[in-house]
């Protein structure tokens, strides 16, 4: 997946400005950036839901999965049915394993409106895992979950990704999530959104601990970059 000179605006608002990014196959790339900078817009362009105003998007992946910022479950289907419908070849055992991984065992027969926001989001994550895409786009998928559960879900994502060997692009506001998950972390700026920095982490995900010296120094670097973003002013007109 490659973006070359991508620009996007809405009415008078310039959102994405000359975005150039390459995403390595079979890696997890995390995208960090201030609220409203254009992360979801960028994912929508990658998914082909939105067209850029200018620039080129090359996506060789045939099967693209997307966990949206909101859960988008079908309200008339149960947890089990919502997960099953994206891959009818999955066995009951496969689906029950996914339900277990996201901590929804015992809730498989419930409907979305019988679940909490975080549970619905976990169901939509299990559905994305069941889709077995070559490229999985995830837009703040763990945002409705508390800190411990986020880290557990990050561990489950790493387990599933290592089994499948697919590519994942993961948008988050949480630095720790990005540090635990990303082979590469892309930091976006505001006013309008550009690529501020790209940081590679060579430690395999399964060996990462947040207290590791190298990860602490990456954390400090990310904090500095993001704090700089928070100080940036509001949008300029196009």
Ligand X SMILES: Nc1ncnc2c1ncn2[C@@H]1O[C@H](COP(=O)(O)OP(=O)(O)OP(=O)(O)O)[C@@H](O)[C@H]1O
Residues near ligand X (CB under 6 A) are 10, 13, 15, 33, 35-41, 69
Of 35 and 202, nearer to ligand X (C-beta) is 35
| Min CB(205)–Mg ion separation in Å | 24
Q: Which does 10 bind (CB under 5 to 8 A by kind): Mg ion, ligand X, none?
A: ligand X
Phi, psi dihedral angles at 148 (to 5 degrees): -60, -45
CA distance 227 to 114: 39
| Min CB(139)–Mg ion separation in Å | 6
Cα of 192 vs its chain's centroid, Å: 21
| Min CB(157)–Mg ion separation in Å | 18
Which residues 27-86 are close enough to bind Mg ion by CB under 5 A? 39-40
Q: In what order do the strands lie in the sheet with 184-188?
A: 64-67, 135-139, 167-172, 28-32, 184-188, 195-200
CA distance 206 to 122: 22
Of 40 and 78, nearer to Mg ion (C-beta) is 40
Burial label for 142, CB within 10 Å (0-12, 13-18, 19+), is: buried
Q: Which does 14 bind (CB under 5 to 8 A by kind): ligand X, Mg ion, none?
A: none
Q: Which does 65 bind (CB under 5 to 8 A by kind): Mg ion, ligand X, none?
A: none
| Min CB(140)–Mg ion separation in Å | 6
Of 84 and 190, nearer to ligand X (C-beta) is 190
| Min CB(10)–ligand X separation in Å | 3
The CA-atom distances, in angstroms, between 77 and each of 80, 85, 86, 109, 113 are: 8, 9, 12, 9, 10
Of 205 and 229, nearer to ligand X (C-beta) is 229
CA distance 21 to 1: 8
Q: Which does 36 bind (CB under 5 to 8 A by kind): ligand X, Mg ion, none?
A: ligand X
Positions that interact with Mg ion (CB under 5 A): 39-40
């Amino acid at each position: 997946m490659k973006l070359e000179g991508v620009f996007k605006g809405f009415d008078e608002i310039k959102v994405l400005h000359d975005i150039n990014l390459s995403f390595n196959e079979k890696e997890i790339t995390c995208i960090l950036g201030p609220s409203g900078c254009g992360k979801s817009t960028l994912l929508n362009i990658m998914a082909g839901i939105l067209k850029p105003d200018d620039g080129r998007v090359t996506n060789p992946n045939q099967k693209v999965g997307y966990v949206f910022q909101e859960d988008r479950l079908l309200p008339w289907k149960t947890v089990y049915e919502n997960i099953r419908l994206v891959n009818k070849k999955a066995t009951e055992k496969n689906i029950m394993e996914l339900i277990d991984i996201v901590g929804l065992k015992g809730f498989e027969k419930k409907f979305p409106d019988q679940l909490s926001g975080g549970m619905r989001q976990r169901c939509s994550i299990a559905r994305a895992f069941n889709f077995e895409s070559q490229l999985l786009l995830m837009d703040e998928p763990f945002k409705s979950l508390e800190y411990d559960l986020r880290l557990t879900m990050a561990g489950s994502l790493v387990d599933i990704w290592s089994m499948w060997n697919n590519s994942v692009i993961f948008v988050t506001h949480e630095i720790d999530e990005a540090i635990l998950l990303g082979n590469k972390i892309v930091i976006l700026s505001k006013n309008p959104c550009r690529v501020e920095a790209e940081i590679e982490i060579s430690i395999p995900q399964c060996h990462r601990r947040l207290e590791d010296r190298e990860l602490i120094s990456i954390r400090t670097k990310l904090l500095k970059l993001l704090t700089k973003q928070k100080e940036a002013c509001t949008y300029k007109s196009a």
